Amino acid sequence: MPRLYLYVNHLVVLLVLTLGVSMAQKTTYLDIQPDRLRHAREAEKEAKAKNDPLLLAEAWYLYGKTYVFSGDYRTAQSYFLKSLRIHEPLGDSFELSRLYVRLSENEDRLGRSKQALHYANLSLAVAQRIQSDKALLRAYGALAQIYQAMWEAHLPRKQLDYNRVFFYYKKRESLCYKLSDTLGIGEVSIELGTLFTKVKDPRAIPYLEKALYLFTLKNKDGIRVNTMMHLAEAYLTFNKLERAFQILNKAEKIYTTKKLNEYELRLSLNTQFVNYFEALGQWKKAYEHLRKLNESEKIKLLADRNGAITRLNVEYETEKKEALLNAQKKEISLNTQNLRLQQRFIVVTFALLMIAAGMSIVFFRLYRKNKRTSRRNEELVKEQNHRVKNNLQVVSSLLSLQSKRLTDESAKKAVEESRLRVQSMAILHQRLYDGDKLAEANLDEFIRELVGGVLRAYGYPSVQTQFSIDESSLSADKAVPLGLILNELTTNACKYAFPNNENPKFSISCYRKNNKIHVTVADNGPGWPGTGSDRSDGLSVSWSDTQLDWVESGAVPATLHVSFGMQLIQAQVEQLSGTYQVRSGLENESVGVVFTLEFKG
């Protein structure tokens, strides 16, 4: 949003507050379109009456489209997935490819580019198998939009990503011409023209002019005005200011004549006008044009005020005719006093306006400065996590190389376990670098990736692993100790629970309760010989590095040696300021070793 637009908005708000006028500004949301919702409900009712699953899938698809138009993408996604559960088992179809496109578009709107790309590729694969040009047209469009978003998001922009966007738009354009789809040709012309504008390619203007011609031919007023704004942006980009001004005036005329009354179109239209006046350096006209956004409310406010003044004047005149001479003199005196008060009020109001304007400029500059600082700090933290992750991966690779050169199995095993510990920290920093929150890791993603890496390292990728993890995040200073603990527990299970076990199982649960994190790790191994009760001290267990070393005193174990792995776990639990318990199941139980941990989250 241009700086001038922000400044004008601040100034208008301050003016309204100073004059004592309450003008509520409401956020504009799109209501659910009743016709679409009624159509979806009728389809659902008919499907249930006929017990027709395909018709029910279509009804859910219509529900999804209805919520997309209202901006509720999460609810729309749930309906699309319900429809998908019916179509997928039935095999390839145009409806299945279409559903994948809708899912891809929604994932892209929700900021999940990887999932969006996954669904788009599924749509393309189905469209290719059923050899449907209409399905291919949708799939190419979805892929082009995703790659364009990825291209615009990365700085510096990569030529390879741009080539992908251009490739899919051209494939889409070719199919539109093949199908003689006039509106489709117009849409892809806007897409290519906008793309060319961003890279200052002269082909932008011809493409956008072609799109404008097609939408004019089809009398599509809304998208026609939208095309004009994209064309005006292209004219400004290539310094064709006069043509930009002409097309903007024409767009505004159509918007007014056709009574489109769409907020986004109006906002975009004014934005392009501001860009035009900024290019000419005519700041006053830009300011005046932006004021049009508030003009209707101001006119309404002034009309109400003038009406009130007129009514008061009529009442005053009526009372004046009926009043005595002395009352008239008092009224004249009162009017004189009111006039003086009004004059003083005008002076005070003008002074307050000047002060408000000055303060708004100061606050705006401070806001911009703080925003730049915040953005820079965020980039630095992400860069730091990225570098730490890379360094840890280098260390992990060096340990892996060193392990392959060793011949002593004990030394080789120790180096490999050290590598896994380093790898767990590298996974954490990967989560910190990729995550939306700084210095916080998503527990579900972090734990699954860490455990999966250890299982693959020990050759147990297919072990039945059950995860029950709440959607929660954990700060980095607590995620590192937790990751090392889980690494040791998983390593221990791979070494002692899974060998000679026909059906090895492994489970991890993690949930937050009363501001505490509760973690439980269990396997179905043989457990520790001679133990079957809870052990809360954890100091009598020989963990990971060696088998249990019992020093017999009659039939009762007297002393157990503590391994490095157990010492590491104890140290990490102390760092978390938490408590833990270890229980080994009896020989006739299905549970081997159960480890529970509790600490403040």
pLDDT per residue as tens digits for the range 354-404 = 898 888 888 888 888 887 876 776 677 667 666 765 776 677 677 766 666
Instruction: Please determine, for residue 351, whether its predicted confidence score (pLDDT) is greater than 50.
Output: yes
Q: Report which of 279, 294, 230, 224 is spatially closest to residue 253, judged by C-alpha positions.
A: 224
**Which has the minimum average pLDDT: 80-89, 239-248, 503-512, 521-530?**
521-530
Question: What pLDDT was estimated at residue 290?
Answer: 64
Instruction: Please determine, for residue 136, whether its predicted confidence score (pLDDT) is greater than 90.
Output: yes
Asked if residue 526 belongs to a domain, the reply is yes
The more confidently predicted of residues 191 and 24 is 191
Q: Report which of 477, 473, 471, 480 is spatially closest to residue 441, judged by C-alpha positions.
A: 473
Q: Report which of 571, 545, 320, 505 is spatially closest to residue 415, judged by C-alpha positions.
A: 545
Asked if residue 596 belongs to a domain, the reply is yes
Instruction: Please determine, for residue 291, whether its predicted confidence score (pLDDT) is greater than 90.
Output: no
Helices (H), 238-324: 241-257, 263-280, 283-290, 295-322
165 CB-side CA count, 13 A: 22
Number of domains in the chain: 1
* CB distance 447 to 510 below 8 Å: yes
* CB distance 214 to 232 below 8 Å: no
248: alpha, beta or left? (left if phi > 0; alpha if psi -120 to 50): alpha
Q: What percent of the chain has pLDDT over 70?
A: 74
Question: What pLDDT was estimated at residue 420?
Answer: 77
The amino acid at residue 199 is V
518-533: average pLDDT: 73
Instruction: Please determine, for residue 244, whether its predicted confidence score (pLDDT) is greater than 70.
Output: yes
What global pTM score does this model have? 0.42
Question: What pLDDT was estimated at residue 511?
Answer: 92
Asked if residue 318 belongs to a domain, the reply is no
Q: Report which of 179, 174, 178, 173 is spatially closest to residue 193, judged by C-alpha positions.
A: 173
What does the DSSP assignment read for 80-93? HHHHHHHHGGG---
Rounded to an integer, what is the distance from CA 300 to the centroid of its chain?
39
Indicate the DSSP class of residue 545: S
Task: Specify the pairing of strand 550-553 against strand 505-513.
Answer: unpaired
Instruction: Please determine, for residue 521, whether its predicted confidence score (pLDDT) is greater than 90.
Output: yes
Instruction: Please determine, for residue 61, whether its predicted confidence score (pLDDT) is greater than 80.
Output: yes
189-212: average pLDDT: 92
* pLDDT-derived band at 278, boundaries 50, 70, 90: confident
Backbone angles phi and psi of 535, in degrees to 5: -130, 110
Q: Could you give the CA distance from residue 79 to residue 56 in angstroms, rounded to a whole number? A: 11
Question: What pLDDT was estimated at residue 7?
Answer: 42
Asked if residue 266 belongs to a domain, the reply is no
405-409: average pLDDT: 73
306-328: average pLDDT: 52
* CB distance 104 to 112 below 8 Å: no
Burial group, residue 537, by CB count within 10 angstroms (0-12, 13-18, 19+): exposed
Burial group, residue 483, by CB count within 10 angstroms (0-12, 13-18, 19+): buried
**Which has the minimum average pLDDT: 34-38, 514-518, 569-573?**
34-38
Q: Read off the tokens for 231.
A: 């064309």
Handedness of CA 558, 561, 566, 570 (dihedral sign): positive
* pLDDT-derived band at 261, boundaries 50, 70, 90: low
* pLDDT-derived band at 567, boundaries 50, 70, 90: confident
* pLDDT-derived band at 325, boundaries 50, 70, 90: low
Asked if residue 177 belongs to a domain, the reply is no
Average pLDDT, the chain: 78
Instruction: Please determine, for residue 133, whether its predicted confidence score (pLDDT) is greater than 70.
Output: yes
* pLDDT-derived band at 294, boundaries 50, 70, 90: low
* pLDDT-derived band at 469, boundaries 50, 70, 90: very high
Asked if residue 128 belongs to a domain, the reply is no
Q: Could you give the CA distance from residue 110 to residue 207 in angstroms, rounded to a whole number? A: 30
Question: What pLDDT was estimated at residue 21?
Answer: 36
Question: What pLDDT was estimated at residue 397?
Answer: 74
Instruction: Please determine, for residue 329, whether its predicted confidence score (pLDDT) is greater than 60.
Output: yes
> C-alpha distances in angstroms, 396 versus 192, 226, 390, 426, 556?
45, 53, 10, 9, 42
Residues 412-438 have pLDDT tens digits of 767 777 777 777 677 766 666 665 666
Q: What percent of the chain has pLDDT over 90?
A: 32
Question: What pLDDT was estimated at residue 220?
Answer: 86
469: alpha, beta or left? (left if phi > 0; alpha if psi -120 to 50): beta
The more confidently predicted of residues 93 and 152 is 93
Question: What pLDDT was estimated at residue 551?
Answer: 28
Residues 6+ positions from 63 with CB-CB distance below 8 Å: 37, 40, 44, 76, 79
Which uninterrupted H or E stretch holds 591?
A: none
468-485: average pLDDT: 89
Rounded to an integer, what is the distance from CA 574 to the centroid of its chain?
36
| Most confident among 88-102, 327-341, 531-545 (mean pLDDT) | 88-102
Question: What pLDDT was estimated at residue 358?
Answer: 84
Count the Cβ atoms, other than its own, within 10 Å of residue 572. Answer: 23
335-345: average pLDDT: 85
What does the DSSP assignment read for 150-189? HHHHSSSPPHHHHHHHHHHHHHHHHHHHHHT-HHHHHHHH
407 CB-side CA count, 13 A: 0
Helix (H, G, I), strand (E, B) or coil at 20: coil
Asked if residue 519 belongs to a domain, the reply is yes
Asked if residue 520 belongs to a domain, the reply is yes
| Most confident among 62-76, 305-319, 458-472, 548-562 (mean pLDDT) | 458-472
Question: What pLDDT was estimated at residue 403?
Answer: 67
**Which has the minimum average pLDDT: 205-214, 286-295, 497-506?**
286-295
164-168: average pLDDT: 92
- Residue span of the structural domain in which 453 resides: 437-600
Instruction: Please determine, for residue 262, whether its predicted confidence score (pLDDT) is greater than 70.
Output: no
* pLDDT-derived band at 315, boundaries 50, 70, 90: very low
* pLDDT-derived band at 192, boundaries 50, 70, 90: very high
Question: What pLDDT was estimated at residue 433?
Answer: 61
Could you tell me the CATH number of the domain that includes residue 538?
Answer: 3.30.565.10
Instruction: Please determine, for residue 78, whether its predicted confidence score (pLDDT) is greater than 80.
Output: yes
